[in-house]
Amino acid sequence: MRLNEAIDRRALRTGIHSVEVRTRRLTEMAAAGTFADMESVFVYGTLRRGGSNHFRMDGAEFVAAGTVRGRLYHIDWYPGLVLDENAGEVPGEIHQVSAGMLDELDRFEGPQYRRVRVEVNGGGDHRSPLSAWLWEWLGPVDEGRRIISGDWLSHKK
């Protein structure tokens, strides 16, 4: 799902004024040449709203909450997600980011993560999966540090 489809769906929930504001913002982004460079990312840990590194998402556009299937681990002060279709759901958020921000997030995540394209099961009004990038943990895991709920923010409370 592209950003404009998410905006259309959100408009149905929030009213026409929201559409006018969002449409104006999209027009400004298109004029600046940034719209074509937008990418969807799924964040599940410290980059989520309320997470300790959410400030790194400054300028990103929240699209929807969603889930992916996998196992979430408490690695250190941050989580690591190992994708696994047979595991539980890991909640997170889909955001639209610029190509430049995507590069910054790659650097932030570092070499122990790899960016992979996934289908995110949408929450709320999103019935069909949404395609997004996420950073999958490549390092060692300790089953004793698995976060059974799959939710980093709840785990950190």
For the CA atoms of 54, 56, 58, 59, what is the dihedral angle to 10 degrees? Answer: -130
pLDDT of residue 157: 80
Domain boundaries, the chain: 1-36, 38-156
Token pair of 91 as six digits: 């909640």
Q: Which CATH architecture has domain 38-156?
A: Roll (3.10)
Q: How many CB atoms lie within 10 A of CB 31?
A: 9
pLDDT of residue 10: 45
Token pair of 132 as six digits: 């997004």
Amino acid at 18: S
pLDDT of residue 156: 85
pLDDT over threshold 80, residue 52: yes
Residue of 47, 40, 149, 142 whose CA lies nearest to 91:
149
Q: What is the pLDDT averaged over residues 62-73?
A: 96
Percentage with pLDDT > 70 across the chain: 74
78, 147 in Cβ contact below 8 A? no
